[in-house]
Structure 1
């Protein structure tokens, strides 16, 4: 079977679904391929920065998911058992000030429903790309395996939105020259009962010498924990039994002893995330372009992956839509120029986030006493200076927003 369309999007995560929606809102025809039935993923980012919230509003999706979000008001860091930094998002002068937690299945379903209501988006699920269709040196679509058999999707533009291990990137040969940087740690993700004494409106980072953990509220009322371990150290940790994991948690958050015992009874209650970043040199080739983790994998620090995927989608859609207006003879050159303009537009923002993340990674892993003392001094200095907080956190949380008067109500406040 052959399907003809204007854009074929491979990958039904936040970036791919948002791009499909943004394109059909502009009257373009899209076929979206999702490899996993029901978009079942082992690990899902749930944290949206204030700028991610802004992007959902621009896509017309925020009101659809608002009742399912959990708004976060502050970020706190404790180092060596002592409180060193407390960032209050209310103090930032932007229209969208607060990060939110949003379960990814809810987000994906809302994006899918909105695209379906606009019309013009055909979804094949499950569908696995097996090859790219190449004509005269340019990609002209995708061959995919589906439960009904092999399907060819012929498209003017193919978009790889299929994640950190992108098949599209490999098939297109865009992985050549990619810089993959393994970080010094992996993350064990788990969920615990939320402690009654903790503020549910706070993100927490706990540091002890060179170890650290992230403690994030979930929309289902539980506590998501990202426990950092040295790269490749899981086997050694598991050899000591589940009590070793409980001990690591107790070192960072001793008040969670009861929750850890109740919530983590075996290693099957955890999930390991291999932490690395990728810098793909070229995001596009004739007839194809990459977005999201396929183009630039980031670490979990500050929850940047989902937000950059949404930003990519919103930036790319109008460029593709405009290029598709070109006469047939000039369409492919116009799409190629659009893909190059997209990378020029987005690359600097991704680079800034990566630099900020790597600085935080280095700070978190300092273990020598003089270095940890310096880290605490830096965080305490940041804690006393709202201006310095804005300078440090604005590039990560508010890259697409301009400051507004501090006394102006947030968009959430304007609705209540």
Structure 2
């Protein structure tokens, strides 16, 4: 099989880029390792930039029809008391389930004959010419080996990128001193879409409303301490959680029973020296993993795709230079990562006066 553009990784960035290229007449194949779209955990909150990009390409309405939820309130709690509340006529972020976002984009892309995608397909090796340039992959689907060649290979396969590893591109991991425990519970019947913040045991506690009447709880713990945390009795933690967010005490009591109800996210940001290498280009978490702070990861991936789509569609593939795009995006991403570190360092300041 030969295609003009081969994109590995059907997350938001890879899916959006494949749609943009197909829409502009470029024969594009999208590969995804998992058997179901949205099976891998990725960010699910749009900010204003992400919303703008989806609207720019007439995708937001499709996402909205499947289901999304704007957050209209932002609240801070201390010792079970509301200390600060902000409301808006727009939103403080939009929860979009990963499956909804990808479904909307892929459905739009399949309207074009020059787009195709394969799920359950793992890349096993990259194809290189004698001059070192990349021109395709060897992949496996349903136990069968495929050789797929292309004019341009794009790695959009996330923080653990197989394409990046096989291309020998080193990644710099930047730890932030904490990891994150996630849990999802049903929302109370009268719950309104909101983002809620509190301090619990001197660590950040975040509550995000989700579509389908759910709430996502995120509790920071010291980096590398989950083994010690889960060896502690669960009930004292559950009691502290109820005292910190009393408005959720009933649903917490009913639905959180052990540490097994939480998922651990190893938190770090990352950067790489180059986003391109001899006919190979990267975007999203593959070259700039973000922390959960501010929910920038999804939106940065969409922005990468937005910019790359314009560049690829505007030039002959054998003459494209990605240097300007890489330089610009590197600067923007570094600024956001620095902003994340500042937000993390200053979060507790909002509660100092109430301590």
Q: TM-score range by the shorter chain?
A: over 0.9
With 58-67 and 313-322 compared, the bigger mean Cα shift is at 58-67
Tell me if 1:234 matches 2:232.
Answer: no
Task: From the superposition, tell whether residues 51 and 241 of structure 1 become closer, same or farther in structure 2 (CA, over 3 Å).
Answer: same
Shift of residue 323, structure 1, vs aligned partner? 2.4
Distance 2:172 2:75 in 1: 32
Distance 1:349 1:98 in 2: 21
Distance 2:216 2:26 in 1: 38
Find the partner of 1:225 among 217, 220, 227.
Answer: 217
Distance 1:166 1:122 in 2: 21
Taking only aligned residues, the RMSD between alpha carbons, in angstroms, comes to 2.1
Q: Which is helix-richer, 1 or 2?
A: 1
Find the partner of 1:35 among 33, 54, 59.
Answer: 33
Residues 326-382 of structure 1 deviation map (CA, whole Å, 9 limit, x = unaligned): xxxxx43x23x1x22221221222122111111111123x5xxxxx5x8646x9xxx
Find the partner of 1:113 among 104, 107, 111.
Answer: 107
Find the residue that maps to 1:240 and give its secondary structure.
coil
Equivalent runs, 1:10-409 vs 2, <5 Å: 10-67=8-65, 68-79=67-78, 81=80, 83-90=82-89, 99-135=93-129, 136-147=131-142, 149-175=144-170, 178-196=171-189, 198=191, 200-208=192-200, 210-324=202-316, 331-332=317-318, 334-335=319-320, 337=321, 339-364=322-347, 372=349, 376=352
Task: From the superposition, tell whether residues 121 and 184 of structure 1 become closer, same or farther in structure 2 (CA, over 3 Å).
Answer: same
With 309-318 and 76-85 compared, the bigger mean Cα shift is at 76-85
- For structure 2, which runs of at least 5 residues remain unmatched after alignment? none
Distance 1:252 1:296 in 2: 34
Distance 1:89 1:171 in 2: 46
Distance 1:122 1:193 in 2: 37
Distance 2:233 2:92 in 1: 39
Say how many residue pairs are matched. Answer: 352
User: Is the contact made by 1:9 and 1:159 (CA closer than 8 Å) also made in structure 2?
Assistant: yes
Residues 1-42 of structure 1 deviation map (CA, whole Å, 9 limit, x = unaligned): xx1011110001111100100111111111111000013535
Matched with 1:386 is none
Task: From the superposition, tell whether residues 204 and 351 of structure 1 become closer, same or farther in structure 2 (CA, over 3 Å).
Answer: same
Residues 224-252 of structure 1 deviation map (CA, whole Å, 9 limit, x = unaligned): 11111111221112112332441452353
User: Is the contact made by 2:32 and 2:118 (CA closer than 8 Å) also made in structure 1?
Assistant: yes
Task: From the superposition, tell whether residues 345 and 85 of structure 1 become closer, same or farther in structure 2 (CA, over 3 Å).
Answer: farther
Distance 1:97 1:211 in 2: 26
